[in-house]
Structure 1
Amino acid sequence: MLSRFPVCFAVVIGVVLSVTAVHGQITFTGSMLGPLRARSIGPAIMSGRISDIAVVDTAPRRFYVGAAGGGVWRTTNAGVTFTSVFDELPQSIGAITIDQKRPDTVWVGTGETWTRNSVSVGEGIFRSTDAGRTWQKSGLDSSERISRIVIHPRDAKIIYAAVPGPLFHDSQHRGLYRSIDFGTTWSKILSGDERTGCSDVVIDPKNPKILVASMWTFRRTPYSFSSGGPGSGIFRSTDGGNTWSRIRKGLPEGDVGRIALAMSPLDPKLLFASVEAKESAMYRSIDGGLSWERRYVGSVVDIRPFYFSRLVCDPKDKNVVYKCGIQMYRSDDAGLTFTIIAATAHSDHHSVWIDPANTEHIILGTDGGVYESFERGKTVRFMSNLPVSQFYHVTVDNATPFNVYGGLQDNGSWRGPSDAPGGITNGHWKFVGGGDGFHVAPERADANVVYWESQGGNLNRTSLTSGETKNIAPTPDDGSLKLRYNWNTPIVRGAQPGVIYVGSQYLHRSTNRGDTWTRISPDLTTNDSAKLAQEASGGLTLDNSSAENHCTIYTITESPIDQKVVWVGTDDGNLQRTTDGGTTWKNFSGSFPLLPKGTWVSSVDPSPHDAATCFVTFDGHMNGDMHPYVFRTHDNGQTWTPIITKDIVGYAHIIRQDPVMARILYLGTESGLWISLDAGASWASFRNNLPAVAVRNLAIQSRDNALAIATHGRGIYIIDNLEVLRQTDPLAITEELTVLTTEPAVRSQGGGAGRWFGGDADYAGESLSQSAQVWYILKERHMRGPFTISISDSSGKLIRSFPGSTRKGLNSVELAMRMPAPLTAESEIGGAFGSAIGPLLAEGVYTVELNKAGLKKSTTVLVVTDTVYKHSAEDRTAQQKLVAKLYRLNEELAITVAQVKAGLDSLMPTRWDSPITDSLNKLHKSLVNSKVGLVTGEEQLRERLSSLFGEVNSYLGKPTSSQEALASTLELRVEEATRTAGEILKHYSFETRAQIEARLRKARSKK
């Protein structure tokens, strides 16, 4: 199959390639690359981590879902469909609250508060007063994480926000905040120290002066996590938050950690708290939080309290309380015992809503998406239409269409196609391996053999043919040496088949698909013993999941020019290189201007154009440094130059140099994708259909000129037409009008619909466009005179002419690969199904001419048939000729029927019983079916012609002899009908055929 270059006869409004000369360099400003867009291919089959859910209590079909890294989604039909309503805003969500008295008012606190190692960051609190259609930033910019938002039950202008605060550094911006002016200003009313913030708060709906809040001391570093401290605890206010008292009665002595709170809506004096402590437990208060009693001790509350800290009371039964955890738990005896519910849902629950009108109805948010139950969790249904998966990496193969491979936080390793007829459905995605997924890559010699790993170096090789999986992780021969693997262990293929690399603190190489390994380096990390105490990580609750593993290799790249050159980056700041296949190594740490020591090496990209050039990104966010760091060397690492600009937002994850055009760079940060067309001198944020989401990895499919984008919260996106970027050189924009070279356009039937009737909830990612695009650049905005675009076929016949986009910069014209459906004779029973779809454009060369007030430029588009179809050129030509003939006959008949109908409409009022009226009626009945019946209805000329057109149009090879013969017969009948109509109406002054044709075409264009 030929690679298809997305190209319809319509103008796509363009970009501003506004360039400013600064010291001889070109700096891009303004909106860039507008018509160039990314398409989302999903997946949604595994969804992703949900941090919060908010439901309109009186209209539970309306609810909002907050994703850990995928923004806010709204449904108005109980999850049948979801709409993303937060694309331009921070995608990491901590809390969502609806004003239940004014449900169009929605508050969103950004910054996930389930504080695992991979969480993103927020930028404050946002408010919508029109059900999520528009948003206004409402302060708390430095909060980084917001865990709960509470609205005063009597005064909607009073809002409380629980702010745990930053995860990776000290901050004074922690605590419980209050606004009394609808979020315009905020005051901190409950403070902790620089490591202690507010994790939860509840308000008495009957006496809103009473609030109960929990404070939490916590901190994460790249190599440890600590939960708990003397600042943690439960606090109570009786004056609306002006003053607070710490509550100790009945609670554990000593330090406590994260505490979840819940207040019964039936009795505000009844509260529950899950309290992290040396012995974590569930507590109950029956006096409004003044004193507490321990109710339960066990796994429901003592497993990962930092990650599972949500309690919800049943709105109709005071004894029922729900607890989020690895499973969803419910207590029916006021917290004494717990039962697992929703057992078939994904593990790791973070949010639960109980319908106040029907407590059998609950909605759950998990690490694997949203579930709903109408039986209190006995059974659940999964909403498999939320594409909020969190990819760490992406790899592509050379299949047609190419596949993408990647691993997801919480949701394993997967493979899916980059294109599919009718959309890329959940069924197109194939599960490769479990656990938390990271690197996934097919073997170069056999794409049915896939390498993948789950957390902490669990490296596997799977045959997709047999389903067998073999663990191939390197281990010391005698077991005496402990290998340190990063949570996100790198697996990298070499250029040669069978060669793979994996990193612990050493670099390991296999030449036989992982069956045996050779250690080809010394310890390439700092091996800092102060950072190797993971067994004690967690604080009050030990938590050693490998997420804190440190002094490990994080990134590996073999040079595309010299396979003996391998670059290795570590999570403790070392950048190492070998030029002799691992015999010797050089450490470049300390060589990077203004880079803090020990900053994580997040990616290395040796140039495919120049052996002496390499690019590297560093990520310091886990040390509290949110700045992006990107460097380049042109002299084998002797010197390194920063190529970051002040425009770039978000810490840097990945950089890739374009394999064709050396000046083009792609950069993924925590806030999105950035593109440079001038080797890093300037950068543009790419946001066309790509939200402000973390971009963790990038892969370029060279054959198809496509960029695959792994986002940590919105799945995979693809930019299909990198050739446009390669031809867009701001230094070369010297002419008023520049038309770019266009790749061949591929005509294809698309393999059928590709989907059955799955209903509106059936998710599908966006397929590759079946059009061709012609791109042009205007040096300046066109202001005077006409600017037209004309398109002609290979015979020179004008197909269409229309105004072009006059915007400065990059613009495009789309050439649809299908013509409009033919005009079809009208009938009382409706449309003729066979002619409902237009034919593909005929093969050949099409000319596109742009006329800018007399300045003419043109280009050609070669339309070819997809090589998947094995028909000869002669057979394809025969099909195209017959389709064109039947297309013409359908339209001629449509005009004739309209002519007859116009005659009848004019004559019927006064001459309904005349011979001419009788003749017209008989002719009309012979041409179109007038009897209702999709199957048993009569077939007249229109129906037979439409059916034949559909048959021939659906097959790109040679028509059958029967089809050819029937077409000739029907042609005679159409000619006879046209002649008969003309004879009957020749003495009357009705519309001419030309007028009727113009009227019909105008009506079609409006559909």
Structure 2
Amino acid sequence: MSQQVDPRYLQALRWRCIGPPRGGRVVAVAGHPTQPMTFYFGACAGGVWKTEDGGQYWSNITDGYLTSAAIGALTVAEADPNVIYAGTGESTIRLDVSYGDGIYKTTDGGQTWRNMGLRDTKHIGEIRVHPQNPDLVYVAALGHAFGPNEERGVFRSRNGGETWEKVLYVSDKAGAVDIAMDPTNPRILYASIWEAYRNFWYLSSGGDECGLYKSTDGGDSWVNISRNPGMPKGMLGKIGVAVSPAMPNRVWAIMEAGDEEGVYRSDDSGATWTRINSDRALLARPWYYCHIFADPQDAETVYVTNLKMWKSTDGGKNYTEITTTHGDNHDLWIDPRNPQRMIEGNDGGACVSFNGGNSWSTAYNQLTAQFYHVAVDSQYPYHVYGTQQDNSSLGLPSKTGHGAILWQDAYTAGTGESGYIAVKPDDPNVVFLGAIGSSPGGGGALQRYDHRTKQVRLVTVWPEAHNGWDPSEIKYRFAWTYPIVFSPHDPNVLYAGGNHVFRSTDEGSSWEEISPDLSRADPEKLKASGGPVTLDTSGAEHYGTVFAFAESPHQPGLLWAGTDDGLVHVSPDGGVSWVNVTPTDLPEWSLISLIEVSPHDDKKAYVAATRYKLDDYRPFLFKTGDNGRSWQNIAVNFPQGEITRVIREDPHRPGLLYVGTETGIFVSFNDGADWQRLEAGFPVVPVYDLVVKDDDLVVATHGRSFWVLDDLSVLRQMGQEVMEKQAHLFRPADTIRRWINWRVYPARTESKNYMISSGVGVTFTEKKNEYNEPIRKFLDAGENPPQGVLVYYTLPENSGEPVTLELLDGAGAVIETFRDRGQTAVSPPNESEADKKKREAKRTLSTQAGLNCFLWDMRYPDATAVPGDPFSDGITAPLAAPGTYQVRLTVGNMVQMQEFVLRPEPHLTATREDLLAQFELWLQIRDKLTETNEAIMRIRRIRQQVDEWVKRATDNEAVASTAAALKEKLAAIEGVLYQTDAKTSFDRLRLKVKLNTKISTLISIVAAADERPPKQAYDVFEHLSVQVDAQLAQLNELVETDVAAFSALVQQEGIPAIGLD
């Protein structure tokens, strides 16, 4: 039976990005031609981002519109800057390259986007738009990176992308990677064709079909000019091209060409060429860079982006370095009107300069980090660890006590960019991580990081350098992301996977080989990568290795290993023997991406595999119930065209599966028989790894940093019976009672707020939605989990019934009641203005068909406040004590109840009795404050009526004099309870605070920490209570005597009687 869940029953789930705000690779940038502070960048796997303040803050502007997150090209139409074209799929085809689905266009400055076709190009290198006609567009499409296809070359659209013409095509294995346009004569175009491909074991850059082409008729016809006089005579590779707007006959080409590589220049529009620079620093790893950019106003100035960024002021002959915020520089946009204004994209993000590159904006405000794997530890709050592409490995907390997860909360945990990361189960200070490409030492670099000493120790299995060698010639092969896994049974046992499996029992000080070569070890696939023009032996293409590894959590020594060339092995005896259990339905040469042993069944396991680097984008998911003797394909109903990288089973609900793909996360409620996307605000982004930690799903994206889905209770309880009910109340997950510091500030404006708590600078916006729920968005930090208990409930379509939610304590007493907007919109009789404002500001319940969510902040109701009190700026609501609570949902006549538990923070030293004492005193203070403030408001109501009577009793001396005496006595009491001269909160610095303020400020003494209140708090409360009670007694006596006498007097005069409440 199908168990597809109506997406509406998942709509209220809440994802949050926890950071870090450290940018990932950017290969496409653009600037607004007339708004000097507005720029754009395309993250290579994270969508399009925009800044309107010169790079101070960035916001994603394509979420909800793109179905591919990979941006390879980005261009703003100069004639109409509201028109922006984005080409998906980067042409920088390193091993983690993401594919795209064509061209997207916006005509409203990025508010909305539409796919304009060319979906099968997969990888787009450049877009050029006619400077006077935003509808005339040229696209350089590389085509498939992993196999031949027809949709590649140069495409032209004359109608803004509605239709396309292929105007330059060489073959099904060579595509266009760059276009330059003469801005003074846009009919003159130069385009470079690149013959390149990649698979799991090899990167090829160059061939007979590479070349530089020119058109003088707007793309109708093209001429190959790459063999013109002065050009290289041998095999060509990647080519970048630029035209000088200041001298249109001057053209530069930076060319991968073996010994003839270098920067070439033509001063006659490409007719003849001269190699003017052959410095290899400008052409290191040409397949990855090879870009050149002309200054728009100075014909002698030209820029080259490579590992470093270079500038020439003598026409391209000599270069000096321009330092940027990160290495591996790719794209550069220079303002044609002001060349000092530019934006540059590199492997660490995008950065803006207003002084020609002398200084740049930061990339530590971009939530686009690319992670390969994720790990969590055992501390509280748990920390999340990952290895970030072209950066360091790091750890950061899943939540903090100061309102947000800042960059300062993260820490570098080794220098690993490329691999797995594993935290020692019994010591979260110790982390092991793969660091190929980002570590000194030879071999498959493996680091041990100790957070206590902040030192990194290299414990590589076989630390022999192998650069330049064929993989077949080296002793051990390790993949770029080889597995590093701790045993679930012994925290001192660590495994690492090369072409053999290795085990260490001394934290990497020594290693034991516990398997034979488990790969196919095909010699044809174990050759040096990077040819035929330039070798590139970084180790990223090492093949024939163990890529996935797991030890059964049920049986020590039951080991699983999957290779990147398509084999699965099991060892039942800790590595003594191994059995090939590869699924028979799995095609050869598939990459076994991950193996998940079921946490519920000792014979059950799952495999996620992929063949996308063989140009096969089908999903591959299998499960076994007999330790691999037989397998079932569980991708039959999985969406096609998805790269299946990771699969996990929920540890609480058997058969609840989570899968990470190239475009997001999918879930199955019936052990893989049916699948559906798990969206709920999760962006389109490659998901490389995920893990279930307690009640959270923690996700490592490769383009949007880390994400967490808090509270999996809905998914664990969801089923057909839930959707068939008229309404359903889910049991809330047990919730940690408190973890956020009392100093955290509320938002002061709907625009940017710059400080979230004392000493903590972070920028965020906050707006209330239609249910008066504040929605906070962080611009340069990660988001904390919701502060409270998530209460989920479902409602039918067009119910129309009133909805009420009540929170009750363990004894069944109602703490607070919340209602839908239809009920709260009704004003009760004789409602005061203060009560009206309170009613209108109170949170209401959502009533959409499907899943709804209400966040209970774990607080009892606030004390009654005095309207307009400038000193009333603190939270007075008591935080509920740890214990069992109930929630009751009423929909019409249908009533449902669930229990949940508030748990204290695990690291607290306070006892349950201490916290109960804190709650009880807090409640007493709140009630005394309410009593005080209600007395103040009572005085004001009496005074108001007295004034009304005096107005009516014109020329009545007795009424006037009696009223004056009464008001004086009322003012005396009010003056003790309340500072009547206060106009702003700063008046407390010059005026004496009175009893209601003294009582309210006492709450901070009680609430500052999860501890029993100090004795002096009780003493001061008793001291203040005595004074308040004395004033209230005076007020009651005054009401019974003077007010009653005045009431009798006005009755004598025929004026309506005074109300005494």
Q: Indicate the SS of the match to 1:791.
A: strand
Query: Is 2:1022 the counterpart of 1:965?
Result: yes
Aligned-pair CA distance for 1:872: 4.1
Residues 517-573 of structure 1: per-residue CA shift (max 9 Å, x gap): 111111111111101111x53331221111111111111111112222211111111
Identify the residue that residue 111 of structure 1 maps to in structure 2. Answer: 89
In the alignment, the residues of structure 2 paired with residue 489 and residue 335 of structure 1 have an alpha-carbon distance, to the nearest angstrom, of 42
Identify the residue that residue 663 of structure 1 maps to in structure 2. Answer: 655
Identify the residue that residue 327 of structure 1 maps to in structure 2. Answer: 308
Query: Is 2:905 the counterpart of 1:928?
Result: no
Aligned-pair CA distance for 1:447: 1.9
Identify the residue that residue 230 of structure 2 maps to in structure 1. Answer: 250
In the alignment, the residues of structure 2 paired with residue 981 and residue 311 of structure 1 have an alpha-carbon distance, to the nearest angstrom, of 88
Identify the residue that residue 775 of structure 1 maps to in structure 2. Answer: 792
Identify the residue that residue 425 of structure 1 maps to in structure 2. Answer: 406
Query: Is 2:590 the counterpart of 1:603?
Result: no
Identify the residue that residue 824 of structure 1 maps to in structure 2. Answer: 865
Alignment CA distance shift 1:296-1:805 (3 Å): same
Identify the residue that residue 805 of structure 2 maps to in structure 1. Answer: 789
Larger RCO: 1 or 2 (CA < 8 Å, sep 6+): 1
Q: Unaligned 5+ residue runs, structure 1?
A: 1-23, 995-1007
Q: Are 1:66 and 1:73, in contact at CA under 8 Å, matched by a contact in 2?
A: yes
Residues 911-958 of structure 1: per-residue CA shift (max 9 Å, x gap): 999654663666665522525645233323343233223333334422
Alignment CA distance shift 1:72-1:820 (3 Å): farther
Residues 274-319 of structure 1: per-residue CA shift (max 9 Å, x gap): 1111221112222333332221111233211221133222233221
In the alignment, the residues of structure 2 paired with residue 217 and residue 981 of structure 1 have an alpha-carbon distance, to the nearest angstrom, of 96
Q: Indicate the SS of the match to 1:460.
A: strand
In the alignment, the residues of structure 2 paired with residue 29 and residue 801 of structure 1 have an alpha-carbon distance, to the nearest angstrom, of 27
Aligned-pair CA distance for 1:782: 6.0
Identify the residue that residue 640 of structure 1 maps to in structure 2. Answer: 631
In the alignment, the residues of structure 2 paired with residue 292 and residue 899 of structure 1 have an alpha-carbon distance, to the nearest angstrom, of 93
In the alignment, the residues of structure 2 paired with residue 981 and residue 56 of structure 1 have an alpha-carbon distance, to the nearest angstrom, of 71
In the alignment, the residues of structure 2 paired with residue 760 and residue 100 of structure 1 have an alpha-carbon distance, to the nearest angstrom, of 32
Residues paired across the two proteins, number: 961
In the alignment, the residues of structure 1 paired with residue 8 and residue 723 of structure 2 have an alpha-carbon distance, to the nearest angstrom, of 17
Q: Indicate the SS of the match to 1:183.
A: coil
In the alignment, the residues of structure 1 paired with residue 426 and residue 1000 of structure 2 have an alpha-carbon distance, to the nearest angstrom, of 49
Identify the residue that residue 292 of structure 1 maps to in structure 2. Answer: 273
Identify the residue that residue 443 of structure 1 maps to in structure 2. Answer: 424
Give the aligned residue type for 2:51: T
Give the aligned residue type for 1:539: P
Query: Is 2:782 the counterpart of 1:765?
Result: yes
Q: Unaligned 5+ residue runs, structure 2?
A: 437-442, 467-472, 745-756, 765-778, 821-844
Query: Is 2:685 the counterpart of 1:693?
Result: yes
In the alignment, the residues of structure 1 paired with residue 1035 and residue 268 of structure 2 have an alpha-carbon distance, to the nearest angstrom, of 91
Residues 847-871 of structure 1: per-residue CA shift (max 9 Å, x gap): 3222233222212334454354433
Identify the residue that residue 578 of structure 2 maps to in structure 1. Answer: 585
Give the aligned residue type for 2:892: A
RMSD: 2.9
- Aligned-residue identity in percent: 32
Alignment CA distance shift 1:314-1:981 (3 Å): farther
In the alignment, the residues of structure 2 paired with residue 511 and residue 941 of structure 1 have an alpha-carbon distance, to the nearest angstrom, of 66
Query: Is 2:878 the counterpart of 1:839?
Result: yes
In the alignment, the residues of structure 2 paired with residue 128 and residue 993 of structure 1 have an alpha-carbon distance, to the nearest angstrom, of 66
In the alignment, the residues of structure 1 paired with residue 212 and residue 96 of structure 2 have an alpha-carbon distance, to the nearest angstrom, of 28
Q: Are 1:592 and 1:641, in contact at CA under 8 Å, matched by a contact in 2?
A: no
Give the aligned residue type for 2:40: Y
Identify the residue that residue 664 of structure 2 maps to in structure 1. Answer: 672
In the alignment, the residues of structure 2 paired with residue 313 and residue 935 of structure 1 have an alpha-carbon distance, to the nearest angstrom, of 61
- For 1:407-806, list aligned pairs within 5 A: 407-421=387-401, 422-455=403-436, 457-475=444-462, 482-495=475-488, 496-534=490-528, 537-589=530-582, 591-593=583-585, 595-644=586-635, 645-647=637-639, 649-701=641-693, 704-730=694-720, 735-748=725-738, 750-752=740-742, 753=744, 756-758=759-761, 760=763, 763-777=780-794, 780-781=796-797, 783=799, 785-793=801-809, 794=811, 796-797=813-814, 799-803=816-820
In the alignment, the residues of structure 1 paired with residue 980 and residue 199 of structure 2 have an alpha-carbon distance, to the nearest angstrom, of 76
Aligned-pair CA distance for 1:30: 4.0
Q: Indicate the SS of the match to 2:692.
A: strand
In the alignment, the residues of structure 2 paired with residue 477 and residue 370 of structure 1 have an alpha-carbon distance, to the nearest angstrom, of 36
Aligned-pair CA distance for 1:980: 8.2
Q: Indicate the SS of the match to 1:972.
A: helix
Q: Indicate the SS of the match to 2:135.
A: coil
In the alignment, the residues of structure 2 paired with residue 868 and residue 42 of structure 1 have an alpha-carbon distance, to the nearest angstrom, of 24
Alignment CA distance shift 1:973-1:330 (3 Å): farther
Query: Is 2:925 the counterpart of 1:949?
Result: no
In the alignment, the residues of structure 2 paired with residue 648 and residue 981 of structure 1 have an alpha-carbon distance, to the nearest angstrom, of 81
Aligned-pair CA distance for 1:749: 5.5
Q: Are 2:711 and 2:733, in contact at CA under 8 Å, matched by a contact in 1?
A: no
Which stretch of the first structure deviates more once superposed, 311-320 or 467-476? Answer: 467-476
In the alignment, the residues of structure 2 paired with residue 798 and residue 836 of structure 1 have an alpha-carbon distance, to the nearest angstrom, of 17
Query: Is 2:314 the counterpart of 1:337?
Result: no
Identify the residue that residue 85 of structure 1 maps to in structure 2. Answer: 61
Identify the residue that residue 301 of structure 1 maps to in structure 2. Answer: 282
Q: Are 1:457 and 1:488, in contact at CA under 8 Å, matched by a contact in 2?
A: no
In the alignment, the residues of structure 2 paired with residue 342 and residue 502 of structure 1 have an alpha-carbon distance, to the nearest angstrom, of 38
| 174, 192, 212: which one aligns with 1:196 | 174
Alignment CA distance shift 1:859-1:607 (3 Å): closer
Query: Is 2:448 the counterpart of 1:391?
Result: no
Q: Indicate the SS of the match to 1:758.
A: strand
Aligned-pair CA distance for 1:407: 0.9
Identify the residue that residue 165 of structure 2 maps to in structure 1. Answer: 187
In the alignment, the residues of structure 2 paired with residue 760 and residue 674 of structure 1 have an alpha-carbon distance, to the nearest angstrom, of 32
In the alignment, the residues of structure 1 paired with residue 551 and residue 1056 of structure 2 have an alpha-carbon distance, to the nearest angstrom, of 80
In the alignment, the residues of structure 1 paired with residue 42 and residue 35 of structure 2 have an alpha-carbon distance, to the nearest angstrom, of 18
Query: Is 2:991 the counterpart of 1:937?
Result: yes
Give the aligned residue type for 2:323: A
In the alignment, the residues of structure 2 paired with residue 859 and residue 213 of structure 1 have an alpha-carbon distance, to the nearest angstrom, of 66
Q: Are 1:223 and 1:549, in contact at CA under 8 Å, matched by a contact in 2?
A: yes
Identify the residue that residue 40 of structure 2 maps to in structure 1. Answer: 64
| 95, 98, 108: which one aligns with 2:76 | 98
Q: Are 2:786 and 2:855, in contact at CA under 8 Å, matched by a contact in 1?
A: no
Residues 804-838 of structure 1: per-residue CA shift (max 9 Å, x gap): 6555544433322134654433458x3434x3453
Alignment CA distance shift 1:48-1:261 (3 Å): same
Give the aligned residue type for 1:656: R
In the alignment, the residues of structure 2 paired with residue 270 and residue 405 of structure 1 have an alpha-carbon distance, to the nearest angstrom, of 50
| 885, 888, 891: which one aligns with 1:849 | 888
In the alignment, the residues of structure 1 paired with residue 815 and residue 552 of structure 2 have an alpha-carbon distance, to the nearest angstrom, of 51
Identify the residue that residue 345 of structure 2 maps to in structure 1. Answer: 365
Which stretch of the first structure deviates more once superposed, 312-321 or 117-126? Answer: 312-321
Alignment CA distance shift 1:862-1:269 (3 Å): same
Identify the residue that residue 6 of structure 1 maps to in structure 2. Answer: none
Give the aligned residue type for 1:746: I
Identify the residue that residue 14 of structure 2 maps to in structure 1. Answer: 37
Residues 690-709 of structure 1: per-residue CA shift (max 9 Å, x gap): 111111111222xx222211
Which stretch of the first structure deviates more once superposed, 684-693 or 859-868? Answer: 859-868
Q: Are 1:489 and 1:553, in contact at CA under 8 Å, matched by a contact in 2?
A: yes
Q: Are 1:825 and 1:928, in contact at CA under 8 Å, matched by a contact in 2?
A: no
Alignment CA distance shift 1:674-1:887 (3 Å): same
Q: Indicate the SS of the match to 1:446.
A: coil
Give the aligned residue type for 1:474: V
Identify the residue that residue 772 of structure 2 maps to in structure 1. Answer: none
Alignment CA distance shift 1:757-1:521 (3 Å): closer
Aligned-pair CA distance for 1:760: 2.7
Q: Are 1:160 and 1:178, in contact at CA under 8 Å, matched by a contact in 2?
A: yes
Alignment CA distance shift 1:492-1:864 (3 Å): closer
In the alignment, the residues of structure 2 paired with residue 894 and residue 663 of structure 1 have an alpha-carbon distance, to the nearest angstrom, of 56
Residues 31-71 of structure 1: per-residue CA shift (max 9 Å, x gap): 45222222211111x32111211111321321112111111
Q: Are 1:889 and 1:974, in contact at CA under 8 Å, matched by a contact in 2?
A: no
